[in-house]
Amino acid sequence: MGVYTGLRWGELSGLHRHRIDQRRSRLFVVEVNTKRGIKEYPKSSRSRREVPLPAHVLEALERHIYRLDRDAVVFTTVTKGRAGRLLDDGNWRRQTWWPAIENAHYFDDYGEQQLVPHYPPHSMRHTCASWLVQKGVSLYEVQHLLGHESFQTTQRYAHLQPDAHKAVLGAWERMETPLTIAT
Residue 45 confidence (pLDDT) = 73
- pLDDT above 70 coverage of the chain, percent: 88
Lowest mean pLDDT among 13-17, 63-67, 139-143, 167-171: 167-171
CA-wise closest residue to 140 among 131, 150, 127:
150
Residue 92 confidence (pLDDT) = 92
Q: Convert the pLDDT of each residue in 24-45 to its tens digit.
A: 999 999 999 999 999 987 677 7
The arithmetic mean of pLDDT across residues 58-67, rounded, is 95
